[in-house]
Amino acid sequence: MTGTRIKWTNRGRPTVAAVGLCAGALLLACSTNDTTGAGGSGGTSGGGGQGGSAGTTATGGAGQGGAPVFHPGVLVDDGLVARYYLDEAASGQDPTEVLDAAPEPLPLPLTYVNIGVDENMTYTEDSAGNRGLAFVAAGHDDRASVAIDGTKILASLHGGHTATYEVVANVLGVSSSISRLSHIGIESGHNLSLEANSLTRVLVSMNEHGVGGVPVDLPNIGRVVIHAVIDTSQTEPADRVRTYVNGGKLPIVVGTPPLLNEAIDLGLGRHYVIGNREIGERTIAGAIYYSAIYSTALTDEQVLQNVALLLVDDDTPTDDAPP
């Protein structure tokens, strides 16, 4: 599959992304803006070219007259609940909140520890111009968080059977007590959480249980796009949790899948937190560049579409981007 976009922001970064999607354990930017419909090799279903249909095998499709899989330049919004580009400030700055780009925006107040003096969390902008929240060390209290009672997050996810977390991060260190990337919980609970307890494993938790852990060589991947997809309506237990790293679906090696049609139970008194839990002590070392929540289970094709865009640029894709 191939998607091409040209993006300008008001920070003056023209970006051309021509990404051939190869759904293996690590998807890399490759290929050209070819529209003949050749699919990826060695992965899941290949995509049709312009006017073609999606292929049904890893060799891809080249059909005529079908709808293209990708909509170049557009992130999937199917079931979007909240989207945080984490680009409110440049390196070394400390704004007061993280902005939500989704409808009915729900900003996240920022909690800094020792702000201005040996601070652990601050905004960063990498050499490619991607902005995010940087954490100096794992296991600290800094966070972006909000209570979700009465909010769209609780209304959209509680009692449902599907959800997707989408995160762009560069994880260099974690707490052995389980660092959080994108998290809903109360105190030490894990109602719905994307997390890591080592530099070789990403975990998904739901309803206080580990439901899927996958092997990932986090420090050697660098900036990476991670998806955790839950769909408890799936008949096969192995299909109820899917975890992707840069678009490649990875095998689950630890955890017990949710029960058939098990509902997501968020309860009351919970917080949504980026980079921690509400009571702290669970930061990563590294940076989180982007975080989004969906009430739907994104498909393989939707995951690949967003990965193609986010790998190139995870900041606000309009002229309304922060200066």
Residue 211 predicted with pLDDT over 80: yes
The mean pLDDT of 235-255, rounded to a whole number, is 97
Report if residue 320 sits inside a domain: no
Residue 156 predicted with pLDDT over 70: yes
Write out the DSSP string of 232-274: TT-SSGGGSEEEEETTEEPPP-BS-PPPTTPPP---SS-EEEE
Domain shared by 176 and 27, yes or no: no
* Residue 287 or 61, more confident: 287
Report if residue 223 sits inside a domain: yes
Report if residue 69 sits inside a domain: yes
Q: What is the end-to-end Cα distance of the chain in Å, rounded? A: 33
Residue at token pair 């922001």: 9
Report if residue 312 sits inside a domain: no
Report if residue 307 sits inside a domain: no
Report if residue 183 sits inside a domain: yes
Domain shared by 235 and 103, yes or no: yes
Most confident of 34-43, 289-298, 314-323: 289-298
Domain shared by 91 and 69, yes or no: no
Domain shared by 50 and 190, yes or no: no
Domain shared by 97 and 59, yes or no: no
Report if residue 306 sits inside a domain: no
Domain shared by 53 and 93, yes or no: no
> Domain span at residue 59?
1-73
Domain shared by 142 and 50, yes or no: no
Domain total of the chain:
2
In whole angstroms, what is the distance from residue 7 CA to residue 309 CA? 10
Please state the φ and ψ torsions of residue 305, each to the nearest 5 degrees.
-60, -45
Q: What is the pLDDT of residue 93?
A: 83
Q: What is the pLDDT of residue 69?
A: 43
Q: Which of 47, 73, 99 is the last residue of a domain?
A: 73
Q: What is the pLDDT of residue 104?
A: 97
Residue 50 predicted with pLDDT over 60: no
Mean pLDDT of the chain: 79
pTM for the full model?
A: 0.78
Q: Across the strands, what pairs with 244?
A: 227, 249
Query: Which segment of 4-8, 177-181, 246-250, 263-267 scores lowest on mean pLDDT?
Result: 4-8
Domain shared by 65 and 176, yes or no: no
Q: Which of 49, 73, 97 is the last residue of a domain?
A: 73
> pLDDT-derived band of residue 115, with 50, 70 and 90 as boundaries?
low
Domain shared by 172 and 238, yes or no: yes
What CATH number did the domain enclosing 124 receive?
2.60.120.200
Q: What is the CA radius of gyration of the chain?
A: 19
Q: What is the pLDDT of residue 71?
A: 52
Domain shared by 47 and 123, yes or no: no
* Residue 284 or 61, more confident: 284
Domain shared by 7 and 155, yes or no: no
Q: Across the strands, what pairs with 275?
A: none
Report if residue 308 sits inside a domain: no
Residue 58 predicted with pLDDT over 50: no
Residue 53 predicted with pLDDT over 80: no
Domain shared by 199 and 247, yes or no: yes
